[in-house]
Structure 1
Amino acid sequence: MHIGILTMTFSLPGCGSLKEKRQRIGGMHERFGRNPAVAVCESGEHNKHDASEWSFVVVAASRREVESQCSQIEDKIQRTVEGRVIKVTRELL
């Protein structure tokens, strides 16, 4: 069993309220939490309007599967989130 933690930090330029932030970042749980091998949470920048940090914990039988799943998550977020990804970290356990 292999575990990977993907953490992504976003800049949300022009975002003026927590409500707007949730609208722009919203749906992370629905998009990625459906997969039983992925756990999703907002892990930082909770009270900042113009920034957000999300972590994804991926579990799979092989390191290659974990890396593939992390890459798929990262690619999808790059295409769908209304903001800029400013930092990405991956940790394999």
Structure 2
Amino acid sequence: MHIVILTLSFSLPGCGSLKEKRGRMGGLHARFGNNPSVAVCESGERDRHDASEWTFVVVGLSKREVESQCSQIEDKIERTVDGRVMNVVREFI
């Protein structure tokens, strides 16, 4: 079994409230949390309006499988989140 912790940091320029922040992040938990091999949470910058950090724990039978899942998560986020990805960290356990 292979496990990856994927952490993404976002900049949300011009975001003025936590309500707007939730709207701009576009329901990441609902979108990715339904996959049984992925756990997701907002892991940092919870009280800031102009930044956010999200962590995904991805589990799979092969390294290739978890790397592919991480790439899919990153690609989908780039297309759907109204913000800039500032940093991506993959930590293999």
Partner of residue 9, structure 1: 9
Stretches of structure 1 that go unaligned for 5 or more consecutive residues are none
Percent of aligned positions that are identical:
75
Question: Which amino acid in the other structure matches residue 70 of structure 1?
Answer: C
Q: Which moved more, 1:18-27 or 1:66-75?
A: 18-27
Question: Which amino acid in the other structure matches residue 39 of structure 1?
Answer: A
Count of aligned pairs: 93
User: What SS does the aligned partner of 1:67 have?
Assistant: helix
Stretches of structure 2 that go unaligned for 5 or more consecutive residues are none
* Residue 61 (str. 1) matches residue 74 (str. 2): no
TM-score for the superposition, normalised by structure 1 = 0.98
CA RMSD in angstroms, aligned pairs only: 0.6
TM-score for the superposition, normalised by structure 2 = 0.98
Deviation at 1:26, TM superposition (A): 3.2
The aligned runs of 1:5-84 (5 Å cut-off) are: 5-84=5-84
